Amino acid sequence: MIIDCHQHTDWHGRRTEDLVKHLDELGVDKAWLLSWEAIDGALEPWYAHLSIAQVFSAARSYPGRFIIGAAPDPRRPNVLDLIRQYHKAGARVFGEVKLRVLMDSPELIAAFRLAGELRMPVLFHLQLPNANEPYPSCWYLGDVDAVERTLVKCPDTIFVAHGPGWWAHISDDRKAHTQSYPTGRVVPGGAVVRLLDEYPNLYCDLSAGSGFNGIQRDPKFGRRFLIDYADRILYGTDFFDRRHLDHLRSIDLPQSVLEKILCGNALKLVPLAGASGEKAGAARPPRRR
């Protein structure tokens, strides 16, 4: 079995049927289908509202194919009630969290703690602006320091890290402070490795160019990293290509490692028994008040 832990519908002009066709072509059995909601999204150029209602609709259209991800913006005054209602309706992942606010702000911490109580892993996008980016004001959740503060405050919540602000810190050098997609040899001791070692509630999502770059920029280090942290890494793409899957299959990983990354860890965090995609084809999100 292969589970893609990071997918969206109506993303980059692709509809749900296009996504399902893409998954079929790659031999991917299931996907975590994630929302993206930010109440201030209109203030930044990259925002693409991916509604929770769309996620539930896709799950109804393709029962058994998707695990529902629903992340209402924690700055909503009724967010805790919404999270409980979405979970009751079948949501099993709190994601994608991609907001222009520090990750350990009080509203987010409250939402993350509730997600932990409901056994919903939190998938988040970390990014800071760099000089080489066209929109230097575009940032999400802060830096790795904010991630660590959040891990300390929410020890009972599982977090799945994603984004250039995360993967650039796989190397212990200064490149992560000036480049979103640094290249070249990885210097051991980066924050990604340190935080994985110190916080058992932290996992990684390989998706997008940031995750691919993190494990591919230094092939020898990348392979060793995948083996050493095989229990904490999830396969994901966040797009419609096959480079992640092809790379994982090309570097001679032990079969046990490959199975954990491709599906075992996703199943550990969201078991299929009782998951929304297995039984909630008719699930509907609650109406907002």
Instruction: Assess whether pLDDT exceeds 70 at residue 287.
Output: no
Nearest Cα neighbor of 201 from 268, 138, 139 is: 268
Residue type, 55: V
pLDDT at 237: 97
Q: Quote the CA–CA distance of 230 and 171 in Å, as a whole number.
A: 18
Q: What is the pLDDT of residues 172-227, one digit of tens each?
A: 998 888 888 999 999 999 999 999 999 999 999 999 999 999 999 999 999 999 99
pLDDT at 178: 84
pLDDT at 134: 59
pLDDT at 13: 84
Residue with tokens 């994901």: 236
pLDDT at 289: 42
pLDDT at 281: 38
Residue with tokens 């979970």: 87
pLDDT band at 44 (very low <50, low <70, confident <90, very high): confident
Mean per-residue pLDDT, 68-91: 98
pLDDT at 121: 98
233 in Cβ contact with 265 (< 8 Å)? yes
- Indicate the pairing of strand 202-205 with strand 233-234: parallel
Q: Quote the CA–CA distance of 163 and 209 in Å, as a whole number.
A: 8
pLDDT at 286: 60
Instruction: Assess whether pLDDT exceeds 70 at residue 277.
Output: no
Residue type, 21: K
Instruction: Assess whether pLDDT exceeds 70 at residue 132.
Output: no
pLDDT band at 99 (very low <50, low <70, confident <90, very high): very high
Nearest Cα neighbor of 97 from 112, 76, 77 is: 112
pLDDT at 33: 98
pLDDT band at 285 (very low <50, low <70, confident <90, very high): low
Instruction: Assess whether pLDDT exceeds 70 at residue 135.
Output: no
76 C-beta neighbours (distance < 10 Å), count: 16
> Can you give the length of the chain in residues?
289
Q: Quote the CA–CA distance of 2 and 151 in Å, as a whole number.
A: 28
Q: What is the pLDDT of residues 143-174, one digit of tens each?
A: 999 999 999 999 999 999 999 999 999 999 98
Instruction: Assess whether pLDDT exceeds 70 at residue 266.
Output: yes
Q: Quote the CA–CA distance of 130 and 165 in Å, as a whole number.
A: 10
**Average model confidence (pLDDT) across the chain:** 92
Q: Answer left, alpha or beta for residue 196, where phi above 0 means left and psi between -120 and 50 means alpha.
A: alpha
122 in Cβ contact with 159 (< 8 Å)? yes
- The proportion of the chain whose per-residue pLDDT surpasses 70, expressed as a percent, equals 92
Q: Quote the CA–CA distance of 10 and 54 in Å, as a whole number.
A: 8
The dihedral sign for the CA sequence 235, 236, 242, 244: negative
- Domains of the chain, earliest start first: 3-279 (3.20.20.140)
